[in-house]
Structure 1
Amino acid sequence: MLSPRERMLKALRFEEPDRVPTFTNLTPQIAEKLGRFLGLPSEPEDSFLSTRISHTEILLSLGNDAVGVGPGRGKSKETRLCEDGTLIDEFGFVCKGTEFYDEIIKRPLEEAETADDVLNYPLPEALDTWRWRKAEQMIAKYSSSYAIIGDLEATIFELSWNLVGMEKFLIDLVMKKEYVFTLLDRIQEDYAFPCGKKLVDMGVDVLWIGDDFGTQRGMLISPDFWRKHFKPRYASLISRWKKLNPELKIAYHSCGSIFPIIPDLVEVGVDILNPIQPKAFGMDLARIKRDWYGILCLFGGVDEQEILPFGTPQDVKQEVWKRFQQAGKGGGYIIAPSHNIQPDTPLENVLAYFDAVKSCRYSS
């Protein structure tokens, strides 16, 4: 029997391990239910994208083959609870808790109009040593047995538009306002690159980057516009990270339908595509497997929009087996839901999902 680390790395070499590997993530609400059920801690990490690096003990007990690490908060920059019940973090996001997610109600650059507005914004220090303490501890504890995935999603586009607000950012991007490109440059060079370099230097096996450019039916911006303004940025980042470690695997995340730019992602050095959202137009797991086997590993594919939350446990097991049959042959597949497991998912479906994953075994 392979160790979880061996299982994951073998799949990434397009070899068949003993069973399909998984790296699955949870929303805090599901983690809390599982924590009570399993008697394990469920408190999420305090970070910009906490779901990818939280709930490790729960997920390993259920069958994850990798551990997620990433940047936390800087020294004395922990998220604060204000008197009015809102939360404010080190980026300057003001959030209000809702039933499912913390919703941003104020953004630090929502009134930005000039390059100086962006240059005067105090972007958190990427290499604050305090930010990396938990990641260092996790790597030291788990790297001998589990693959290590360094998370740096919301790499350029999503962090940028979050600081401004999506509608304003997209309008100003199309209008080619100077501040938009100054902001993209700052996020790319002053935050994304050094954070990624730190993770590579720490020894992660996979650097997981990405930005959501897909909707259910197509891309949020045109493929040509993406190629002009974002493809060169990813190419620059990935080439520099891979120079630090030629064995590094780059995973790229985008929800939704991004089929037209898959060849471009491969061209700039992406090794793993996530999450292959099955209800999104054109994101056919079996087809992508046929087209890109041996070049692009696939990561995801299990329907989180309908089957995981609303199906029966048997439906969930059949869905997992279906995706394994579509993409498992020959390795090159990490099975996972097409999103973090959401709060409306019954606990029995979560358990059925992990049970099914462990049953997806390759014949010896």
Structure 2
Amino acid sequence: MNSKARLIHAINFRETDRPPVFCSIVPQLADKLGSYFGMAVEAPIDSPMSSNRISWMDLMLRLGSDCVCVASCAPDTAPTRTLDDGLMVNEWGIGMRNHGLYDDFELHPLAHVETVEDVEAFPFPDPDAPGRFRLAQEAIEKYGKDYGIIGDLECSIFETSWYLVGLEKLFMGMAMEEPWVDALFDKVAAFHIRVGCTLAALGADVIWCGDDIGSQNGPMISVEMFDRYFFPRIRTMFAEFKKVKPDVKIAWHSCGSILPFIPRFIEAGLDILNPIQPLAAGMDPVWLKETYGDRLVFFGGICVQELLPHGTTTQVKEEVLRRIAILAKGGGYILAPAHNIQADTPIENILAMFEAVRSLEQVH
């Protein structure tokens, strides 16, 4: 069974020799892994919302990933710019500054928003701009026959919106039901619907949407607020993707504890839940599989907070096999770290994760 078939079987609730694996890493770790394997490591791909997910494809395949992730990239006419003071500004006008491990947001181009007219006047990017899908198309043509293709569309509505406005201002606007909030969410959702439809048309097996709406201990917003702002837009988004490619599977990423929202996502048409953050409150794999395993594929589940950076190789292997035993029963599991693997993770623990998965091939 090749990697492509392994993914297709798993997302259609058919058992495989082992679960398919997807992995993404941060740039600092890419350099370390490149040195370990003796591989040249290219610069991260210029994608405003998806860079770490879609960079270093050959390196991830060398590790043992079964999937290649593609996304929309900065178009030919609007690459990310680095200003003289070091501020990086992407095509949305969002400004970030590197402070070591991650880039922090410093410039919110819609921080002044007060009215629907302010939203309408903002120069939103063109989802069909030349060059936006060049790398995605090339990757699908190169890898699509042998490997699963995941089209990344994270920061689908909420996150892109708060990057534009600022988190506090957006939350206040939502709480006060300011009309500009709906106008902004509609604009952002429309952009990402168009991008997702294009990725589906190009041949993605999975469209991976998402917004972080959970914290370590519970949801960041109420169910009522989710229903007011996000449920109808998410349902429309999913339906549009299925119109383009009826057999495409839709994943949703939200870090943290998101238990109250899971039934809403299922009602909206979700197929795959990610990332099943192990240390977030209530995200117990046994309960999730027993409760939703007949309706949802699970994607993730390997801890990047404690297990991978601080565990022993034996602990990593044991926990990976335990998660597989729980979540892969009857199919329906894509094994993955619960986020990009971080720079403080020992290479031997990353190798141990993949070795544990490959050990199941020998059993079969």
Task: Classify the TM-score, shorter chain.
Answer: over 0.9
Q: Is the 8 A contact 2:254 2:274 kept in 1?
A: yes
In the TM superposition, what whole-angstrom CA distance separates every residue of 1:176-208 from its partner, at most 9, and x where no partner exists? 11111110011112x111101111111111000
The one-letter code sitting in structure 1 at the alignment partner of 2:154 is E
The one-letter code sitting in structure 2 at the alignment partner of 1:327 is L
C-alpha distance in 2, partners of 1:114/1:158?
20
1:88-127 to structure 2, matched below 5 A, reads 88-127=89-128
Alignment partner, residue 131 of structure 1: 132
1:202 equivalent in alignment to 2:223: no
Q: Matched residue of 1:46: which SS?
A: coil
C-alpha distance in 1, partners of 2:194/2:335?
29
C-alpha distance in 1, partners of 2:231/2:239?
12
Alignment partner, residue 226 of structure 1: 226
In the TM superposition, what whole-angstrom CA distance separates every residue of 1:277-308 from its partner, at most 9, and x where no partner exists? 11111111111111122321000111111111
1:17 equivalent in alignment to 2:10: no
The one-letter code sitting in structure 1 at the alignment partner of 2:95 is V
Q: Is the 8 A contact 2:182 2:229 kept in 1?
A: no
In the TM superposition, what whole-angstrom CA distance separates every residue of 1:227-261 from its partner, at most 9, and x where no partner exists? 22211111111112112211110001100011111
1:211-250 to structure 2, matched below 5 A, reads 211-250=211-250
Across the two proteins, how many residue pairs are aligned to each other?
Answer: 362
The one-letter code sitting in structure 2 at the alignment partner of 1:17 is T
1:137-286 to structure 2, matched below 5 A, reads 137-189=138-190, 191-286=191-286
Q: Matched residue of 1:130: which SS?
A: coil
C-alpha distance in 2, partners of 1:85/1:199?
32
Alignment partner, residue 328 of structure 1: 328
Q: CA deviation at 1:360?
A: 3.6
C-alpha distance in 1, partners of 2:257/2:275?
10
Q: Matched residue of 1:8: which SS?
A: helix
The percentage of counterpart residues that share the same residue type is: 43
The worse-fitting range, judged by mean Cα deviation, of 103-112 and 138-147 is 103-112
The one-letter code sitting in structure 2 at the alignment partner of 1:350 is I
Q: Matched residue of 1:129: which SS?
A: coil
| Superposition TM-score, scaled by structure 1 size | 0.97
The one-letter code sitting in structure 2 at the alignment partner of 1:25 is S
Q: Is the 8 A contact 1:26 1:51 kept in 2?
A: yes
Q: Is the 8 A contact 1:299 1:335 kept in 2?
A: yes
The one-letter code sitting in structure 1 at the alignment partner of 2:53 is R
Unaligned runs of 5+ in 1: none
Q: Is the 8 A contact 1:304 1:337 kept in 2?
A: yes
C-alpha distance in 1, partners of 2:290/2:242?
26
| Superposition TM-score, scaled by structure 2 size | 0.97
Unaligned runs of 5+ in 2: none
Q: Matched residue of 2:250: which SS?
A: strand
Distance change >3 Å, CA 362–CA 121, structure 1 → 2: farther
Distance change >3 Å, CA 110–CA 41, structure 1 → 2: farther
- Name the Cα RMSD after superposition: 1.3
Alignment partner, residue 6 of structure 1: 5
